Structure 1
Amino acid sequence: MVVRRLAAVVAFGCAAVAGMAPASAEPVAACAAARVTTALPAATPMLDWSENVGYDRRGNLWVSRLYRNEVQRYDNTGKLTATVPVAFPGAVRLGPDGLLYVVYGDAPSSAIIPGGVVRFDPDAVHPHPEVFAAGFTMPNGAAFDDAGNLYVAATGSGVIRIGRDGAVDRGWTDRAVGAGANGIAVRGDTAYLTTNANPLGRVLSFPIEAPESRTVLADLSTGSGVPDFADDLHVDAEGVVYVTTLSGSLVRIDTRSGGACSVLSTEPLTAVVPVLGRSDELLASTERGSVLRIRL
């Protein structure tokens, strides 16, 4: 997306002007390579840009089609079974109530017409989205915690915590403000966040109850050492974080050792989720629009 590339260039330029460099100037090394196949092909490359992916409780896959302004439902055979209109959709996440929550307004226009989160019944014949929360600038990532709170990472608004009633927790959110927030994942009492402000490609973690206490896990760069744009991410049960990047890398970060390496080098990746029932397989969405199946 032009906007994503422009944001990356601007963020890198700001970091250079400020005299800041990534925590490690070394490019991310390669580690054990993954095997990649196409789970869903792109019908029309780029127009089908897949910004995010997620499952509903019946195991259907939902794909956010950014430029089509809709989220699409696919069954386990890869057949398209439903489309739901959502303006510039971002993260799509299953809520504790069985409803599907989708970020909307993942575009610069949200500075004028704010974005937010819609929700709908994914089992409905014709799902009807309703606004759950609104007022955010370029919301992109989203994740639920064990208590059912929803966390939204918005490039222009920082990290926002939303209660099960749709109300923004202003006190928590004010403490969690962070420029360039992009993707977010939650595991237990810890949140993991990607940011692309100063510097580009930073991956952070912080305790949910102390969002101002952030730890830098990695500053990502390409194979040539140029700072990379960090998009969405997933953290598994072992505390291993997988981050998608603009350069097409899937970066693996071991939060215990602090080591980072690239398991995959391919086309620009936008988000990643685990395959249902598999601990060794992931699905990744792409700018071209295909959804990739990755065997670790």
Structure 2
Amino acid sequence: MLAVGCGLVVPTASAAPVNACAPATAAVETPAVLPVLDWSENVGYDVEGNLWVSRIYRNEVQRYDRSGTLTGSVPVEFPGAVRLGPDGLLYVVYGDSPTSALRPGGVVRFDPAAVAPTPEVFVSGLSSMPNGAAFDADGDLYIGSMGGLLRVRRDGTLDTEWNARAAVPGANGVVAQGRSLYVTANGADFGQLLRVSIDDPADRSLLARLPSPVASLPNFADDLVIAPDGILSIATLAGQLVRVDPSTGATCTVLTTQPMTALVAVPGAPDQLLASTEGGDVLRITLPH
């Protein structure tokens, strides 16, 4: 291993491929009504099993029931990550736009079971294009933004000391596992997957660089999820589903499809993911097993 600045550790050699490298398959679960305008930026489930989709250019998150029927929507300006909170409320990042420098974003929350959910601001003033998000086991919320990682305490206040030590340029997707965060980043180098310590965010390492479908061109890493088999699955704007073994950093590209933006594990289906896309379709992905 070779250590470089800011606590970042870069692997010097590629690991052997992960075991789950057989091809995945994808089919359209929910088609876009108007391609691109229906750009689906993120996806998440509520406790009732309803699917929520961030329609970033429609400035709303839409609710679909188990049959795929659209049953409601909530106005959210440039919505990003949709995450179920430990209190059963849905938390949605807003301001996922380059205009956030002038019109800062943040996070809203609402009761997804309400007939007409009303969003309330949980945290505001985020001016560096907030996007991905994840809760840890303690209920703290982590947000990926172009300026770095941000931690929001359970009372909605920013942990400024922690955030000052978590300057990960181009942070995007975030998932938490134990005392670690896995973060996709597209700063000076696109297509990075980092492991960041929750206890000390200055302690971070480069777990993997994502393979690119075009030699010499970087791959833009978007959101990610930990699949039930423990393997990280990452969506890329090149339309690849890249799986990464968090114990070794080994990578496999198991699917190439339309540009994807985010992933969510399907409840009760350990080999299934849903993926949001730039075109607006929501895809159902069947993982190798």
1:33 matched to 2:17? The reply is no
Instruction: Give the match's secondary structure for 1:278.
Output: coil
Q: Which residue of 2 aligns with 1:144?
A: 135
The whole-number CA distance in structure 2 between the counterparts of 1:135 and 1:22 is 36
Given the alignment of the two structures, is residue 184 of structure 1 paired with residue 174 of structure 2, yes or no?
yes
CA distance in 2, matches of 1:189, 1:22: 21
Q: Deviations over 1:58-77 (max 9, x none)?
A: 10000000100000000000
1:88 alignment partner, one of 58, 75, 78:
78
Preserved CA contact (<8 Å) 2:211 2:253? no
SS in 1 for 2:164: helix
Give the alignment of 1:209-224 within 5 angstroms.
209-224=199-214
**Which contiguous aligned blocks of 4+ residues in structure 1 show a shift greater than 6 angstroms?**
21-25
Could you tell me which runs of 5 or more consecutive residues in structure 1 were left unpaired when the two chains were aligned: 1-20
More helix by share: 1
For 1:257 and 1:202, how far apart are their aligned partners in 2?
15
In angstroms, what is the RMSD of aligned CA positions?
Answer: 1.9
Give yes or no for contact 1:200–1:230 (8 Å, CA) kept in 2: yes
Pairing of 1:16-31 with structure 2 (within 5 A): 31=21
Q: Distance in 1 between matches of 2:69 and 2:228?
A: 30
Q: Cα deviation per residue 1:266-285 (whole Å; 9 max; x = unaligned)?
A: 01000001001111110000
1:175-213 C-alpha deviation (Å, 9 max, x unpaired): 111111111111121100011012111110122112111
Structure 1 residues 91-240: aligned runs within 5 Å: 91-136=81-126, 137-155=128-146, 157-225=147-215, 226-240=217-231
Sequence identity (%): 56
Instruction: State the secondary structure of the residue aligned to 1:173.
Output: helix
1:13 matched residue in structure 2: none
Provide the residue aligned with 1:61 in structure 2.
51
Match of 1:5 in 2: none
Q: Is the 8 A contact 2:171 2:185 kept in 1?
A: yes
Paired with 1:126 and 1:224, the residues of 2 have a C-alpha distance of: 46
CA contact (8 A) 1:22 1:199 kept: no
CA distance in 1, matches of 2:238, 2:186: 14
Q: Whole-Å Cα distance in 2 between the matches of residues 165 and 219 of structure 1?
A: 35
Q: Deviations over 1:143-202 (max 9, x none)?
A: 0001100001011x3111111110111111111111111111111211000110121111
Q: Which amino acid aligns with 1:187?
A: Q
Identify the residue that residue 3 of structure 2 maps to in structure 1: none
Is 1:291 aligned to 2:282, yes or no?
yes
The equivalent position to 2:243 in structure 1, one of 248, 252, 265, is: 252
Q: Following the alignment from structure 2 to structure 1, what is the Cα–Cα distance between the partners of residues 257 and 21?
A: 14
Q: How many residues align?
A: 273
Residue 166 of structure 1: SS of its match in structure 2? Answer: coil
Q: Deviations 1:9-54 (Å, cap 9, x if unpaired)? A: xxxxxxxxxxxx99779xx999311121111111110000000000
